[in-house]
């Protein structure tokens, strides 16, 4: 988790396995698109920096975070991927909707990964405010998209 004390988006490129000859899928929520597009940019740039060719990065959009697990599952039915990254952003509101969505998405992504036996990475921000989301999607706390791409590269190399 990125906090004021630690920015996990900083990494030593020598500690990350090469993504050469690997294929990655990215499923992106359209909800909070100003945030999710920044996460996507960070993930794609990181994959490319680590030797993944652009032609080997498949991007699909879904309406919201709740649809991320289904999107990942459908993507995995269409092609052999080394890992799939799910990117989204849920911001706390005045109701418990945040709790239900966050829990369902986290569990759904985990279930897809276990069922398909392919790493499906949880790159979903669950923040209290829009400011926190901005800080974690390219702002002062880094970019969760970068972190998700690093996790995908590491898991794909297992």
Q: With residue 1 as reference, give the H or E element that holds it.
A: none
The residue annotated as part of the active site, out of 79, 97, 115, 140, is 97
Residue 7 has pLDDT above 70, yes or no: no
Q: Is 147 within the bounds of a domain? A: yes
pLDDT digits (tens, 9 = 90+) for 57-69: 999 999 999 999 9
Q: Is 100 within the bounds of a domain? A: yes
Tokens of 83: 């890992």
Residue 68's contacts (CB-CB under 8 Å, 6 or more residues apart) are 27, 29, 62, 86, 87, 88, 105, 108, 109, 124
Q: Is 20 within the bounds of a domain? A: no
Q: Is 14 within the bounds of a domain? A: no
Q: Is 3 within the bounds of a domain? A: no
CATH number at residue 155: 3.40.50.960
| Active site annotation includes 141 | no
Q: Is 11 within the bounds of a domain? A: no
Question: Nearest Cα to 42, choosing from 53, 56, 26?
Answer: 26
Q: Say how many domains are in the chain.
A: 1
User: What percentage of the chain exceeds 90 in pLDDT?
Assistant: 80
Q: Is 21 within the bounds of a domain? A: no
Q: Is 64 within the bounds of a domain? A: yes
pLDDT digits (tens, 9 = 90+) for 70-106: 999 999 999 899 999 999 999 998 778 888 999 999 9
């Amino acid at each position: 988790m990125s906090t004021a004390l630690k920015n996990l988006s900083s990494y030593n490129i020598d500690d990350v396995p090469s993504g050469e000859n690997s294929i990655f899928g990215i499923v992106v929520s359209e909800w909070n698109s100003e945030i999710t597009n920044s996460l996507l940019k960070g993930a794609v740039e990181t994959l490319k920096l680590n030797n993944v060719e652009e032609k080997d990065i498949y991007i699909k959009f879904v309406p919201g975070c709740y649809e991320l697990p289904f999107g990942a599952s459908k993507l995995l039915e269409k092609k052999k991927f080394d890992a799939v990254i799910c990117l989204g952003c849920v911001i706390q509101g005045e109701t418990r909707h945040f709790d239900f969505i966050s829990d369902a998405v986290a569990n759904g992504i985990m279930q897809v990964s276990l069922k398909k036996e392919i790493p499906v990475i949880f790159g979903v921000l669950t923040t209290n405010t829009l400011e926190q989301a901005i800080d974690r999607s390219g702002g002062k706390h880094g970019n969760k998209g970068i972190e998700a791409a690093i996790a995908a590269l590491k898991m794909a190399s297992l």
